Structure 1
Protein backbone atom coordinates (compact mmCIF):
# COMPACT_ATOMS: atom_id res chain seq x y z
CA UNK A 1 0.00 0.00 0.00
CA UNK A 2 2.81 2.43 0.84
CA UNK A 3 4.32 1.90 -2.61
CA UNK A 4 1.05 3.13 -4.10
CA UNK A 5 -0.30 5.70 -1.68
CA UNK A 6 2.64 7.38 0.10
CA UNK A 7 3.03 11.09 -0.56
CA UNK A 8 6.70 10.83 0.44
CA UNK A 9 7.91 8.09 -1.92
CA UNK A 10 8.80 9.76 -5.21
CA UNK A 11 7.96 6.64 -7.19
CA UNK A 12 4.60 5.90 -5.57
CA UNK A 13 1.49 5.98 -7.70
CA UNK A 14 0.17 8.90 -5.67
CA UNK A 15 3.39 10.91 -6.04
CA UNK A 16 3.38 10.29 -9.79
CA UNK A 17 -0.24 11.44 -9.96
CA UNK A 18 0.57 14.63 -8.06
CA UNK A 19 3.54 15.26 -10.36
CA UNK A 20 2.11 14.27 -13.74
CA UNK A 21 -1.55 15.23 -12.99
CA UNK A 22 -2.85 11.98 -14.48
CA UNK A 23 -2.39 8.34 -13.50
CA UNK A 24 -3.95 5.05 -14.53
CA UNK A 25 -4.05 2.68 -11.55
CA UNK A 26 -7.12 0.68 -10.56
CA UNK A 27 -6.35 0.67 -6.82
CA UNK A 28 -5.57 4.38 -6.79
CA UNK A 29 -8.77 5.12 -8.68
CA UNK A 30 -10.78 3.03 -6.22
CA UNK A 31 -9.44 4.74 -3.12
CA UNK A 32 -9.70 8.24 -4.62
CA UNK A 33 -13.28 7.53 -5.64
CA UNK A 34 -14.05 6.50 -2.06
CA UNK A 35 -12.29 9.61 -0.72
CA UNK A 36 -14.52 11.77 -2.91
CA UNK A 37 -17.59 9.97 -1.58
CA UNK A 38 -16.42 10.56 2.00
CA UNK A 39 -16.04 14.25 1.21
CA UNK A 40 -19.77 14.32 0.54
CA UNK A 41 -20.69 12.14 3.54
CA UNK A 42 -18.77 14.42 5.92
CA UNK A 43 -20.07 17.66 4.39
CA UNK A 44 -16.55 18.53 3.26
CA UNK A 45 -14.81 17.84 6.56
CA UNK A 46 -12.78 15.04 4.96
CA UNK A 47 -10.87 16.27 1.95
CA UNK A 48 -8.07 14.44 0.16
CA UNK A 49 -7.02 17.71 -1.52
CA UNK A 50 -5.02 18.80 1.54
CA UNK A 51 -1.63 17.69 0.18
CA UNK A 52 -0.30 21.19 -0.53
CA UNK A 53 -1.69 22.48 2.78
CA UNK A 54 0.16 19.71 4.62
CA UNK A 55 3.39 20.68 2.88
CA UNK A 56 2.82 24.33 3.80
CA UNK A 57 2.28 23.30 7.42
CA UNK A 58 5.66 21.55 7.43
CA UNK A 59 4.56 17.96 6.87
CA UNK A 60 6.53 17.58 3.65
CA UNK A 61 8.53 14.53 4.76
CA UNK A 62 7.95 11.47 6.91
CA UNK A 63 7.67 12.24 10.59
CA UNK A 64 10.86 10.28 11.27
CA UNK A 65 12.78 12.73 9.07
CA UNK A 66 11.64 15.92 10.78
CA UNK A 67 14.52 18.01 12.19
CA UNK A 68 15.82 16.91 15.58
CA UNK A 69 14.92 20.27 17.15
CA UNK A 70 11.32 19.85 15.99
CA UNK A 71 11.35 23.16 14.08
CA UNK A 72 10.37 23.03 10.41
CA UNK A 73 10.97 25.85 7.93
CA UNK A 74 7.86 26.21 5.79
CA UNK A 75 6.55 28.17 2.85
CA UNK A 76 4.10 31.01 3.44
CA UNK A 77 1.57 29.99 0.79
CA UNK A 78 -0.44 27.00 -0.36
CA UNK A 79 -3.02 27.08 -3.15
CA UNK A 80 -6.65 27.00 -1.96
CA UNK A 81 -7.82 23.45 -1.35
CA UNK A 82 -11.02 24.02 -3.30
CA UNK A 83 -9.04 25.06 -6.39
CA UNK A 84 -8.10 21.45 -7.13
CA UNK A 85 -10.55 19.39 -9.15
CA UNK A 86 -10.27 15.59 -9.12
CA UNK A 87 -11.76 13.47 -11.88
CA UNK A 88 -11.95 9.67 -11.72
CA UNK A 89 -12.89 7.82 -14.88
CA UNK A 90 -12.68 4.02 -14.71
CA UNK A 91 -9.04 3.32 -13.71
CA UNK A 92 -7.77 6.82 -14.47
CA UNK A 93 -7.40 9.68 -11.99
CA UNK A 94 -6.83 13.20 -13.29
CA UNK A 95 -6.01 16.38 -11.38
CA UNK A 96 -6.97 19.74 -12.88
CA UNK A 97 -5.61 23.08 -11.66
CA UNK A 98 -3.12 23.50 -8.82
CA UNK A 99 -2.72 21.48 -5.63
CA UNK A 100 -1.95 17.91 -4.58
CA UNK A 101 -3.80 15.14 -2.79
CA UNK A 102 -2.93 13.16 0.32
CA UNK A 103 -4.43 9.80 1.30
CA UNK A 104 -3.06 9.58 4.83
CA UNK A 105 -6.52 9.74 6.38
CA UNK A 106 -7.88 6.78 4.44
CA UNK A 107 -5.12 4.54 3.03
CA UNK A 108 -4.44 2.34 6.06
CA UNK A 109 -8.10 1.65 6.67
CA UNK A 110 -8.66 0.90 2.99
CA UNK A 111 -5.75 -1.56 3.00
CA UNK A 112 -7.06 -3.31 6.11
CA UNK A 113 -10.43 -3.73 4.40
CA UNK A 114 -8.80 -5.15 1.27
CA UNK A 115 -6.97 -7.79 3.32
CA UNK A 116 -10.07 -8.55 5.40
CA UNK A 117 -12.26 -8.92 2.33
CA UNK A 118 -9.71 -11.30 0.79
CA UNK A 119 -9.75 -13.44 3.93
CA UNK A 120 -13.54 -13.63 3.85
CA UNK A 121 -13.55 -14.59 0.17
CA UNK A 122 -11.16 -17.40 1.11
CA UNK A 123 -13.65 -18.66 3.68
CA UNK A 124 -11.99 -17.29 6.82
CA UNK A 125 -14.59 -16.31 9.41
CA UNK A 126 -12.38 -15.62 12.44
CA UNK A 127 -9.61 -13.10 11.94
CA UNK A 128 -8.01 -9.88 13.14
CA UNK A 129 -6.17 -7.63 10.68
CA UNK A 130 -3.94 -4.94 12.19
CA UNK A 131 -2.68 -2.29 9.81
CA UNK A 132 -0.53 -0.37 12.25
CA UNK A 133 -3.33 0.60 14.62
CA UNK A 134 -6.20 0.47 12.13
CA UNK A 135 -7.85 -2.83 12.99
CA UNK A 136 -10.72 -4.93 11.67
CA UNK A 137 -11.86 -8.14 13.32
CA UNK A 138 -14.48 -10.78 12.62
CA UNK A 139 -15.76 -13.79 14.48
CA UNK A 140 -13.93 -14.81 17.64
CA UNK A 141 -10.43 -15.28 19.02
CA UNK A 142 -8.93 -18.69 19.89
CA UNK A 143 -11.03 -18.82 23.08
CA UNK A 144 -14.27 -18.21 21.25
CA UNK A 145 -14.53 -14.66 22.61
CA UNK A 146 -14.73 -11.31 20.81
CA UNK A 147 -11.31 -9.86 20.03
CA UNK A 148 -9.97 -7.55 22.76
CA UNK A 149 -8.10 -4.60 21.26
CA UNK A 150 -6.22 -2.03 23.31
CA UNK A 151 -6.78 1.59 22.28
CA UNK A 152 -4.34 3.26 24.66
CA UNK A 153 -4.27 4.65 28.20
CA UNK A 154 -5.54 1.39 29.65
CA UNK A 155 -8.67 1.40 27.48
CA UNK A 156 -9.76 -1.55 25.36
CA UNK A 157 -12.69 -2.58 23.20
CA UNK A 158 -14.26 -5.94 22.41
CA UNK A 159 -14.29 -6.07 18.64
CA UNK A 160 -16.45 -8.42 16.60
CA UNK A 161 -17.42 -7.92 12.96
CA UNK A 162 -16.28 -4.31 13.13
CA UNK A 163 -13.24 -2.06 12.78
CA UNK A 164 -11.56 0.43 15.10
CA UNK A 165 -9.27 3.28 14.04
CA UNK A 166 -7.57 6.02 16.03
CA UNK A 167 -6.44 9.49 14.98
CA UNK A 168 -4.43 11.80 17.21
CA UNK A 169 -2.52 15.08 17.19
CA UNK A 170 -0.68 14.30 20.42
CA UNK A 171 2.32 12.58 18.87
CA UNK A 172 2.92 14.04 15.40
CA UNK A 173 3.57 17.66 16.35
CA UNK A 174 6.26 20.20 15.49
CA UNK A 175 6.92 23.94 15.43
CA UNK A 176 7.13 25.93 12.22
CA UNK A 177 9.20 28.89 11.09
CA UNK A 178 7.57 30.50 8.10
CA UNK A 179 9.62 31.97 5.27
CA UNK A 180 8.22 34.87 3.25
CA UNK A 181 10.29 37.10 0.94
CA UNK A 182 13.46 35.43 2.22
CA UNK A 183 12.64 36.54 5.78
CA UNK A 184 12.01 34.19 8.69
CA UNK A 185 8.79 34.97 10.50
CA UNK A 186 7.15 33.58 13.59
CA UNK A 187 5.39 30.31 12.99
CA UNK A 188 3.13 28.13 15.09
CA UNK A 189 2.76 24.73 16.62
CA UNK A 190 1.56 22.35 13.94
CA UNK A 191 0.37 18.81 13.37
CA UNK A 192 -0.69 16.62 10.46
CA UNK A 193 -4.50 16.94 10.52
CA UNK A 194 -5.71 19.78 8.30
CA UNK A 195 -9.04 21.57 8.65
CA UNK A 196 -10.19 21.86 5.01
CA UNK A 197 -12.12 25.03 5.86
CA UNK A 198 -8.94 26.91 6.79
CA UNK A 199 -6.20 24.98 5.01
CA UNK A 200 -4.24 24.93 8.28
CA UNK A 201 -3.74 22.40 11.08
CA UNK A 202 -7.00 21.98 12.98
CA UNK A 203 -7.40 24.02 16.17
CA UNK A 204 -10.01 21.60 17.48
CA UNK A 205 -10.09 20.92 21.22
CA UNK A 206 -10.28 17.21 20.37
CA UNK A 207 -6.74 15.80 20.34
CA UNK A 208 -7.57 12.11 19.89
CA UNK A 209 -10.49 10.23 18.37
CA UNK A 210 -11.25 6.51 18.38
CA UNK A 211 -13.97 5.42 15.97
CA UNK A 212 -15.65 2.03 15.57
CA UNK A 213 -17.52 1.32 12.34
CA UNK A 214 -18.41 -1.67 10.21
CA UNK A 215 -15.41 -1.13 7.92
CA UNK A 216 -11.90 0.16 8.57
CA UNK A 217 -11.95 2.63 5.68
CA UNK A 218 -14.95 4.39 7.17
CA UNK A 219 -13.55 4.31 10.71
CA UNK A 220 -10.23 5.73 9.46
CA UNK A 221 -11.92 8.61 7.64
CA UNK A 222 -14.25 9.43 10.53
CA UNK A 223 -11.47 9.40 13.13
CA UNK A 224 -9.56 11.97 11.08
CA UNK A 225 -12.66 14.03 10.43
CA UNK A 226 -13.71 14.22 14.08
CA UNK A 227 -10.44 16.03 14.83
CA UNK A 228 -10.31 18.11 11.65
CA UNK A 229 -13.85 19.48 12.01
CA UNK A 230 -15.58 18.10 15.14
CA UNK A 231 -19.15 19.25 14.49
CA UNK A 232 -19.34 17.82 10.99
CA UNK A 233 -17.25 14.81 11.94
CA UNK A 234 -19.48 13.80 14.83
CA UNK A 235 -22.59 14.30 12.70
CA UNK A 236 -21.08 11.93 10.15
CA UNK A 237 -20.30 9.39 12.89
CA UNK A 238 -23.95 9.42 13.91
CA UNK A 239 -25.26 9.37 10.34
CA UNK A 240 -23.14 6.33 9.42
CA UNK A 241 -24.09 4.31 12.51
CA UNK A 242 -20.56 4.50 13.93
CA UNK A 243 -19.40 5.18 17.50
CA UNK A 244 -16.67 7.51 18.75
CA UNK A 245 -14.56 8.07 21.85
CA UNK A 246 -12.83 11.47 21.96
CA UNK A 247 -10.25 13.09 24.20
CA UNK A 248 -10.56 16.80 24.88
CA UNK A 249 -9.50 18.97 27.81
CA UNK A 250 -7.98 15.88 29.40
CA UNK A 251 -11.28 13.99 29.50
CA UNK A 252 -12.60 11.08 27.46
CA UNK A 253 -16.15 11.49 26.14
CA UNK A 254 -18.17 9.07 24.03
CA UNK A 255 -21.01 9.16 21.56
CA UNK A 256 -24.15 7.07 22.15
CA UNK A 257 -23.48 3.39 21.51
CA UNK A 258 -19.76 3.46 22.23
CA UNK A 259 -20.21 2.02 25.71
CA UNK A 260 -21.25 -1.38 24.30
CA UNK A 261 -17.79 -1.83 22.78
CA UNK A 262 -15.71 -0.90 25.83
CA UNK A 263 -14.39 -3.67 28.07
Structure 2
Protein backbone atom coordinates (compact mmCIF):
# COMPACT_ATOMS: atom_id res chain seq x y z
CA UNK A 1 0.00 0.00 0.00
CA UNK A 2 1.15 3.64 -0.50
CA UNK A 3 3.09 5.25 2.32
CA UNK A 4 1.20 7.21 4.98
CA UNK A 5 1.07 10.87 4.07
CA UNK A 6 1.35 10.31 0.33
CA UNK A 7 -1.22 11.88 -1.95
CA UNK A 8 -3.38 9.62 -4.14
CA UNK A 9 -5.00 10.59 -7.44
CA UNK A 10 -7.89 8.18 -8.14
CA UNK A 11 -9.97 7.83 -11.29
CA UNK A 12 -11.75 5.30 -13.51
CA UNK A 13 -10.41 4.32 -16.92
CA UNK A 14 -10.52 1.42 -19.40
CA UNK A 15 -13.16 -0.22 -17.24
CA UNK A 16 -11.19 -0.32 -14.00
CA UNK A 17 -10.15 1.77 -10.99
CA UNK A 18 -6.79 3.54 -10.91
CA UNK A 19 -4.74 5.06 -8.11
CA UNK A 20 -1.53 7.03 -8.59
CA UNK A 21 0.27 7.70 -5.31
CA UNK A 22 3.04 10.29 -4.92
CA UNK A 23 4.71 12.12 -1.99
CA UNK A 24 3.15 15.40 -3.16
CA UNK A 25 -0.18 16.19 -4.77
CA UNK A 26 -0.09 16.15 -8.56
CA UNK A 27 -0.58 19.42 -10.42
CA UNK A 28 -3.90 19.83 -12.29
CA UNK A 29 -2.09 20.03 -15.63
CA UNK A 30 -0.38 16.71 -14.94
CA UNK A 31 -3.58 14.95 -13.86
CA UNK A 32 -5.14 16.19 -17.09
CA UNK A 33 -2.24 14.71 -19.06
CA UNK A 34 -2.62 11.39 -17.27
CA UNK A 35 -6.35 11.25 -17.98
CA UNK A 36 -5.64 12.13 -21.60
CA UNK A 37 -3.21 9.21 -21.88
CA UNK A 38 -5.87 6.83 -20.54
CA UNK A 39 -8.49 8.16 -22.94
CA UNK A 40 -6.07 7.87 -25.86
CA UNK A 41 -5.28 4.26 -25.00
CA UNK A 42 -8.94 3.38 -24.72
CA UNK A 43 -9.70 5.11 -28.02
CA UNK A 44 -7.06 3.02 -29.75
CA UNK A 45 -7.57 -0.43 -28.23
CA UNK A 46 -10.99 -0.89 -26.62
CA UNK A 47 -13.22 -3.49 -28.25
CA UNK A 48 -16.05 -2.19 -26.07
CA UNK A 49 -16.40 1.20 -27.77
CA UNK A 50 -17.48 1.47 -31.42
CA UNK A 51 -15.27 4.49 -32.13
CA UNK A 52 -11.97 2.80 -31.24
CA UNK A 53 -9.33 2.00 -33.83
CA UNK A 54 -9.50 -1.76 -33.33
CA UNK A 55 -13.31 -1.77 -33.44
CA UNK A 56 -13.11 -0.66 -37.05
CA UNK A 57 -11.51 -4.02 -37.85
CA UNK A 58 -14.43 -5.87 -36.29
CA UNK A 59 -16.75 -4.37 -38.92
CA UNK A 60 -14.66 -4.76 -42.05
CA UNK A 61 -11.24 -5.89 -43.18
CA UNK A 62 -8.68 -3.16 -43.72
CA UNK A 63 -5.67 -1.36 -42.25
CA UNK A 64 -5.45 0.87 -39.20
CA UNK A 65 -2.62 2.95 -37.79
CA UNK A 66 -1.98 2.54 -34.08
CA UNK A 67 -0.10 4.76 -31.57
CA UNK A 68 3.70 4.75 -31.19
CA UNK A 69 3.53 2.31 -28.27
CA UNK A 70 2.01 -0.42 -30.49
CA UNK A 71 5.33 -1.99 -31.60
CA UNK A 72 6.24 -2.94 -28.03
CA UNK A 73 2.86 -4.61 -27.56
CA UNK A 74 3.20 -6.40 -30.89
CA UNK A 75 6.64 -7.74 -29.94
CA UNK A 76 5.37 -9.11 -26.63
CA UNK A 77 2.27 -10.72 -28.13
CA UNK A 78 4.32 -12.25 -30.95
CA UNK A 79 6.70 -13.84 -28.45
CA UNK A 80 3.92 -15.18 -26.23
CA UNK A 81 1.91 -16.45 -29.20
CA UNK A 82 4.98 -18.38 -30.35
CA UNK A 83 5.92 -19.71 -26.90
CA UNK A 84 2.36 -20.81 -26.10
CA UNK A 85 1.80 -22.45 -29.51
CA UNK A 86 -1.06 -20.07 -30.19
CA UNK A 87 -2.80 -20.33 -26.82
CA UNK A 88 -2.22 -16.64 -26.07
CA UNK A 89 -3.40 -14.48 -28.94
CA UNK A 90 -4.69 -10.93 -29.50
CA UNK A 91 -7.52 -12.45 -31.55
CA UNK A 92 -9.22 -13.94 -28.48
CA UNK A 93 -11.94 -11.27 -28.61
CA UNK A 94 -14.26 -13.31 -30.83
CA UNK A 95 -14.07 -16.25 -28.41
CA UNK A 96 -14.87 -13.95 -25.47
CA UNK A 97 -17.85 -12.54 -27.33
CA UNK A 98 -19.18 -16.01 -28.09
CA UNK A 99 -19.13 -16.82 -24.37
CA UNK A 100 -20.99 -13.58 -23.54
CA UNK A 101 -18.14 -11.23 -22.60
CA UNK A 102 -19.14 -8.78 -25.31
CA UNK A 103 -19.46 -5.03 -25.72
CA UNK A 104 -22.88 -5.12 -24.05
CA UNK A 105 -21.64 -7.23 -21.12
CA UNK A 106 -24.53 -9.61 -21.72
CA UNK A 107 -22.63 -12.48 -20.06
CA UNK A 108 -24.93 -14.84 -21.93
CA UNK A 109 -23.17 -17.33 -24.25
CA UNK A 110 -24.37 -17.30 -27.85
CA UNK A 111 -22.89 -20.72 -28.55
CA UNK A 112 -20.28 -23.24 -27.43
CA UNK A 113 -16.63 -22.19 -26.99
CA UNK A 114 -14.99 -21.42 -30.30
CA UNK A 115 -11.32 -20.90 -31.10
CA UNK A 116 -10.40 -17.64 -32.84
CA UNK A 117 -8.72 -17.68 -36.25
CA UNK A 118 -4.98 -18.22 -36.34
CA UNK A 119 -2.97 -14.99 -36.26
CA UNK A 120 -0.80 -15.96 -39.22
CA UNK A 121 -3.86 -16.60 -41.38
CA UNK A 122 -5.78 -13.36 -40.89
CA UNK A 123 -3.70 -10.59 -39.30
CA UNK A 124 -0.60 -8.66 -40.28
CA UNK A 125 0.73 -6.51 -37.46
CA UNK A 126 3.98 -4.69 -38.14
CA UNK A 127 4.86 -1.99 -35.67
CA UNK A 128 2.04 0.57 -35.66
CA UNK A 129 0.36 -0.82 -38.79
CA UNK A 130 -2.30 -3.50 -38.43
CA UNK A 131 -4.06 -5.13 -41.41
CA UNK A 132 -6.96 -7.54 -41.05
CA UNK A 133 -7.72 -9.86 -43.97
CA UNK A 134 -11.26 -10.37 -42.63
CA UNK A 135 -13.33 -8.79 -39.82
CA UNK A 136 -11.63 -9.55 -36.51
CA UNK A 137 -12.31 -8.89 -32.83
CA UNK A 138 -9.04 -7.79 -31.26
CA UNK A 139 -8.54 -7.98 -27.49
CA UNK A 140 -5.18 -6.99 -26.02
CA UNK A 141 -6.43 -7.00 -22.43
CA UNK A 142 -3.93 -9.65 -21.36
CA UNK A 143 -1.10 -7.10 -21.54
CA UNK A 144 -2.80 -3.79 -22.33
CA UNK A 145 -3.55 -2.63 -18.81
CA UNK A 146 0.05 -3.31 -17.88
CA UNK A 147 1.28 -1.27 -20.82
CA UNK A 148 -0.96 1.60 -19.79
CA UNK A 149 0.59 1.43 -16.30
CA UNK A 150 4.00 1.86 -17.97
CA UNK A 151 2.76 4.75 -20.11
CA UNK A 152 1.36 6.60 -17.10
CA UNK A 153 4.63 6.04 -15.24
CA UNK A 154 6.48 7.62 -18.16
CA UNK A 155 4.18 10.66 -18.00
CA UNK A 156 5.10 11.03 -14.33
CA UNK A 157 8.81 10.70 -15.06
CA UNK A 158 8.66 13.28 -17.83
CA UNK A 159 7.06 15.66 -15.34
CA UNK A 160 9.96 15.16 -12.93
CA UNK A 161 8.42 12.64 -10.51
CA UNK A 162 10.78 9.96 -9.27
CA UNK A 163 8.80 8.46 -6.38
CA UNK A 164 5.42 6.97 -7.23
CA UNK A 165 3.16 3.94 -7.32
CA UNK A 166 0.85 3.46 -10.30
CA UNK A 167 -1.88 0.94 -9.46
CA UNK A 168 -4.39 -0.18 -12.06
CA UNK A 169 -6.56 -2.42 -9.87
CA UNK A 170 -3.69 -4.67 -8.88
CA UNK A 171 -1.39 -4.18 -11.85
CA UNK A 172 1.24 -1.86 -10.45
CA UNK A 173 4.59 -0.22 -11.02
CA UNK A 174 6.71 1.24 -8.24
CA UNK A 175 9.53 3.76 -8.54
CA UNK A 176 11.67 5.54 -5.98
CA UNK A 177 13.41 5.04 -2.65
CA UNK A 178 10.40 3.89 -0.65
CA UNK A 179 9.46 0.23 -1.32
CA UNK A 180 5.87 -0.79 -0.65
CA UNK A 181 4.42 -4.02 0.71
CA UNK A 182 1.62 -5.44 -1.41
CA UNK A 183 -0.92 -8.06 -0.35
CA UNK A 184 -1.55 -10.99 -2.69
CA UNK A 185 -5.31 -11.38 -3.01
CA UNK A 186 -6.82 -14.76 -2.19
CA UNK A 187 -8.19 -16.19 -5.49
CA UNK A 188 -11.46 -17.23 -3.84
CA UNK A 189 -11.94 -14.40 -1.34
CA UNK A 190 -10.97 -10.83 -2.32
CA UNK A 191 -11.17 -9.76 1.33
CA UNK A 192 -8.33 -12.10 2.29
CA UNK A 193 -4.68 -12.39 1.27
CA UNK A 194 -2.54 -15.47 0.74
CA UNK A 195 0.67 -13.55 1.32
CA UNK A 196 2.63 -10.35 0.73
CA UNK A 197 5.48 -9.18 -1.45
CA UNK A 198 7.74 -6.11 -1.32
CA UNK A 199 7.66 -4.01 -4.47
CA UNK A 200 10.87 -2.07 -5.08
CA UNK A 201 11.40 -0.32 -8.44
CA UNK A 202 9.61 -2.95 -10.48
CA UNK A 203 6.18 -4.05 -11.64
CA UNK A 204 3.80 -6.54 -10.09
CA UNK A 205 0.83 -7.85 -12.06
CA UNK A 206 -1.77 -10.50 -11.34
CA UNK A 207 -4.29 -12.54 -13.26
CA UNK A 208 -7.15 -14.48 -11.69
CA UNK A 209 -10.03 -16.43 -13.12
CA UNK A 210 -12.39 -15.08 -10.44
CA UNK A 211 -12.00 -11.45 -11.51
CA UNK A 212 -14.37 -11.77 -14.48
CA UNK A 213 -16.45 -14.90 -14.03
CA UNK A 214 -20.04 -15.63 -15.02
CA UNK A 215 -22.52 -18.37 -15.94
CA UNK A 216 -21.39 -21.90 -15.10
CA UNK A 217 -17.62 -21.98 -14.86
CA UNK A 218 -16.97 -19.28 -17.49
CA UNK A 219 -14.25 -16.66 -17.07
CA UNK A 220 -12.13 -14.34 -19.18
CA UNK A 221 -8.84 -16.32 -19.39
CA UNK A 222 -9.28 -18.43 -22.51
CA UNK A 223 -7.02 -20.81 -24.39
CA UNK A 224 -6.65 -19.43 -27.91
CA UNK A 225 -6.36 -22.89 -29.41
CA UNK A 226 -9.79 -23.97 -28.13
CA UNK A 227 -11.67 -20.85 -27.03
CA UNK A 228 -12.34 -22.54 -23.68
CA UNK A 229 -11.59 -21.13 -20.21
CA UNK A 230 -8.39 -22.38 -18.61
CA UNK A 231 -9.37 -24.31 -15.48
CA UNK A 232 -6.09 -25.78 -14.25
CA UNK A 233 -4.85 -22.45 -12.80
CA UNK A 234 -6.82 -19.94 -10.71
CA UNK A 235 -4.32 -17.13 -10.04
CA UNK A 236 -0.86 -15.91 -11.01
CA UNK A 237 1.43 -13.07 -9.99
CA UNK A 238 4.49 -11.91 -11.91
CA UNK A 239 7.23 -9.36 -11.23
CA UNK A 240 9.26 -7.77 -14.02
CA UNK A 241 10.90 -4.53 -15.04
CA UNK A 242 7.83 -3.36 -16.96
CA UNK A 243 4.16 -3.76 -16.15
CA UNK A 244 3.38 -4.68 -19.77
CA UNK A 245 5.69 -7.68 -19.59
CA UNK A 246 4.50 -8.66 -16.12
CA UNK A 247 0.86 -8.39 -17.19
CA UNK A 248 1.32 -10.44 -20.33
CA UNK A 249 3.28 -13.14 -18.54
CA UNK A 250 0.71 -13.37 -15.74
CA UNK A 251 -1.85 -14.44 -18.35
CA UNK A 252 0.62 -16.66 -20.22
CA UNK A 253 1.26 -18.63 -17.01
CA UNK A 254 -2.34 -19.88 -17.20
CA UNK A 255 -1.53 -21.58 -20.51
CA UNK A 256 2.05 -22.76 -20.34
CA UNK A 257 4.88 -23.78 -18.09
CA UNK A 258 7.03 -21.04 -16.60
CA UNK A 259 10.32 -22.58 -17.79
CA UNK A 260 9.75 -21.44 -21.38
CA UNK A 261 8.96 -17.90 -20.24
CA UNK A 262 12.05 -17.77 -18.03
CA UNK A 263 14.24 -18.54 -21.04
CA UNK A 264 13.18 -15.31 -22.79
CA UNK A 265 12.05 -12.99 -20.00
CA UNK A 266 13.52 -11.72 -16.73
CA UNK A 267 10.55 -12.55 -14.50
CA UNK A 268 9.69 -13.83 -11.05
CA UNK A 269 6.36 -15.55 -10.55
CA UNK A 270 3.86 -17.25 -8.28
CA UNK A 271 1.16 -19.61 -9.55
CA UNK A 272 -1.83 -21.16 -7.73
CA UNK A 273 -3.47 -24.22 -9.26
CA UNK A 274 -7.15 -25.08 -9.11
CA UNK A 275 -6.18 -27.78 -6.62
CA UNK A 276 -4.80 -25.12 -4.28
CA UNK A 277 -1.10 -25.85 -4.79
CA UNK A 278 1.27 -22.88 -5.00
CA UNK A 279 4.45 -22.96 -7.10
CA UNK A 280 6.88 -20.09 -7.55
CA UNK A 281 10.18 -19.11 -9.10
CA UNK A 282 13.46 -19.35 -7.22
CA UNK A 283 13.73 -15.57 -7.01
CA UNK A 284 10.18 -14.81 -5.89
CA UNK A 285 10.73 -13.29 -2.46
CA UNK A 286 7.14 -12.94 -1.35
CA UNK A 287 5.84 -14.28 1.95
CA UNK A 288 3.02 -16.83 1.78
CA UNK A 289 0.73 -17.30 4.74
CA UNK A 290 0.20 -20.82 6.07
Matched, 1:74 2:103: no
Is the Cα–Cα contact under 8 Å of residues 83 and 260 in structure 2 kept in the other structure? no
Tell me which residue corresponds to 1:251: 277
Within 5 Å, which residues of 2 pair with 1:135-214?
Answer: 135-141=172-178, 146-152=179-185, 153-154=192-193, 155-175=195-215, 189-203=217-231, 205-214=232-241
Mapped pair 1:128 → 2:175: no
C-alpha distance in 2, partners of 1:132/1:33?
24
Q: How far off its partner does 1:164 sit?
A: 0.6
Cα distance in structure 2, aligned partners of 1:122 and 1:44: 40
Where does residue 218 of structure 1 map in the other structure? 245
1:25: how far off?
2.6
CA positional deviation for 1:42: 4.6
Partner of 2:189: none
For residues 222 and 57 of structure 1, the distance between their equivalents in structure 2, rounded to whole angstroms, comes to 23
Q: Distance in 2 between matches of 1:213 and 1:41?
A: 18
Distance 1:255 1:225 in 2: 15
> Aligned pair in 2 of structure 1 residues 210, 46: CA closer, same or farther (>3 Å)?
same
Q: Which residue of 2 aligns with 1:86?
A: 123
Instruction: Tell me if 1:230 matches 2:256.
Output: yes
Match of 1:55 in 2: 97
Cα-to-partner distance string for 1:150-201 (whole Å, 9 max, x where unaligned): 22133221111210111011232222xxxxxxxxxxxx53111111222222
Residues 99 and 113 of structure 2 are in contact (CA less than 8 Å); yes or no, is this contact kept in structure 1? no
**Separation in 2 of the partners of 1:79 and 1:241?**
30
Q: Could you tell me which runs of 5 or more consecutive residues in structure 2 were left unpaired when the two chains were aligned.
A: 1-40, 186-191
In structure 1, the partner of 2:147 is: 110
Question: How far apart are the structure 2 equivalents of 1:169 and 1:217?
Answer: 19
Return closer, same or farther for 1:28/1:5 CA change in 2, 3 Å cut-off. Answer: farther
* Separation of aligned partners in 2, 1:261 and 1:238: 22
Counterpart in 2 of 1:14? 54
Cα 1:17–1:98, aligned 2, differ >3 Å: closer, same or farther? closer
Q: Does the 8 A contact of 1:159 with 1:261 survive in 2?
A: no
**TM value normalised by structure 1:** 0.79
Q: Residue in 2 aligned with 1:180?
A: none
Displacement, 1:102? 0.7
Output the aligned Cα RMSD.
Answer: 2.6
| C-alpha separation in 2, matches of 1:124 and 1:42 | 37
In 2, Cα distance between equivalents of 1:77 and 1:167: 21
Q: Give the count of matched residue pairs.
A: 237
Show CA shifts across 1:16-70 (max 9, x none). Answer: 23323321232574365232344235553421111111112221146xx446xxx
Q: Distance in 2 between matches of 1:91 and 1:254?
A: 35
Supply the distance in 1 between the matched residues of 2:85 and 2:112 (Cα, whole angstroms): 28
User: 2:266, 2:79 → 1: CA distance?
Assistant: 17
CA offset at residue 220 of structure 1?
Answer: 0.5
